[in-house]
Each structure stands twice: as structure tokens, then as C-alpha cells.
Amino acid sequence: MAFSTINVSTDGFVTTITLNRPERLNALTLTMADELFDVLHTHDQDESTRVFIITGTGRGFSAGADLADSASRAHKASNSPTLAERLYQALVDIEKPIIAAINGVAVGGGCTLTLLCDIRLAAESARFQLPFTKLGISAELGSTYTLPKLVGSAKAMELVLTSKMINSAEALEIGLINHRIADDQLLSAATEMASHIASLPPLSVRTNKATLKQAADQQTQFRTENMALAMLKQTADAKEAAAAFREKRDPVFKGR
């Protein structure tokens, strides 16, 4: 199957999915979300895959939602899935383990996408940011559930409310990632871990992942986030944040 925004390869029970829009720092689009959904769900039912790796092409893992793509879909049918909904659907119910090999900057949805993965390995040069507050919107992809579980509620509050960028050393220190790895060894380290997991009893791996996830609570939190996100996207401050980003100027927020 040919894809336009991702590359896919399978070797030794490990399927590697590479986000492939390097000219846009692998910014997320609905097409990419659809392709991730298709490949993850297809290979989740294929015995030739036991573990997934998700990584990015070029110097970034993902810069988050592509604002140009979002603008082009502003008039889509009201019952069409949003980018956040489609990305969440792509990853949340996958039974086989997913390892994120974070090769560079992971911002916004690019960062929360990694939180839906089961294990996170990051290159030394990787950086992370949850800029939702700065953009006048709310966090998404179930991150208000997953982030506090990983880093604790106080640190999660700090990362979201300050919208600050952190490096991979701090990400490791607070528990946002599992391991910090030299840039040129990241993919080989991810493949080694994936291959080890793939060598273990597949049913045991899948069952243990399922019991650890506690997906029902996460889905409830996702629905709460989605309502908040839909409301905040309509505010003047959210529109001002997007306009300021496009116009490369400082935003002026008015609390409405």
C-alpha cells in the first residue's frame, strides 16, 4: 500500500512507521492521521507485526498540527472527524506495543502523539513543547490524562500552563521519556528494544499492554478534552494566536 505522508517497512516482526513531511517538520494533517490509522489497524491484525516504531524524517519528529491544512478544511462537514479525533482513533485501541523514536522537536500534537505510544525513546537533540495555553486552546489527544500519569500533576500543570520548551535531558529527568539516546543511535536502539519485545510471547505482550493502559478512563478524559477544545477554538484569543503565528508577530490576548 502506498502512502503520501508516511513511510512503512516491516522487518523481523517490527513495523517502522516514519512520518515523512520533512519540509514541514512532519506537521500533522488529516491525511497523515488517516494513513496512520490505516497502517496501524491493518498491521495490528497481521501476524507479521508484533511491535510498532513511530519516528520522523529529517530534523523533527513532528511540529504538531499543520495550520495550513487545518485552514483548508475549515468548511468540512460538521460530522467529519477532527485531526485530534482521527489521531486518537489511530493509536488508542492498537493492541500491539508502539515505541516512539523521537528524533527531533516534538511540539503540540507532535508531543501528545508520543504520549499515546507505550514507550518513548528520544534523541539527545530532541525537544518537547505543549504550547496549547499560549495558542489559546486546550491540550488534546488524551494528554490531560496521560501527561500527569507520566510526570505527576504538578509538573504536567507547569508544562501546559507555561507552554515552555524543554530539552531531552529534562524530559528524561521528569519521566516524559524512557531513555535519552545519541542521535545517530536512536533508531537502532528503538529497533533493538522492539525486536526484544517481539521475541516474547505475543499474547502475553498484548495482554499486559491492555491491563496497563486502563483505556476507559483515558477515553473519558479525551471526550472532556474534545469539548474544551471545540469551545476554545471559537474564542477570539485562539483566532488571534493563529493570526499572530501566520503573520509572525506577537499576539495580543484579550481574554475572550
Given this model, what pLDDT does residue 153 score?
Answer: 97
The Cα–Cα gap between 74 and 27 comes to 17
Given this model, what pLDDT does residue 214 score?
Answer: 65
Q: Which residues of the chain have pLDDT under 70?
A: 70-79, 214-217
Per the structure block, which three cell numbers stand in for 179?
531513555
Per the structure block, which three cell numbers stand in for 100?
516512539
pLDDT digits (tens, 9 = 90+) for 85-116: 999 999 999 999 999 999 999 999 999 999 99
Domains, the chain, ordered by start: 6-183 (3.90.226.10)
Given this model, what pLDDT does residue 66 score?
Answer: 94
For the sheet with 127-129, list strands across it: 60-62, 105-107, 127-129, 165-167
Cβ atoms of 147 and 132 within 8 Å: the answer is no
- Distances, alpha carbon 188 to alpha carbons 3, 142, 195, 217, in Å: 24, 29, 10, 34
Given this model, what pLDDT does residue 80 score?
Answer: 72
The Cα–Cα gap between 162 and 147 comes to 15
pLDDT digits (tens, 9 = 90+) for 112-140: 999 999 999 999 999 999 999 999 999 99
Given this model, what pLDDT does residue 117 score?
Answer: 98
Q: What is the pTM of this model?
A: 0.89
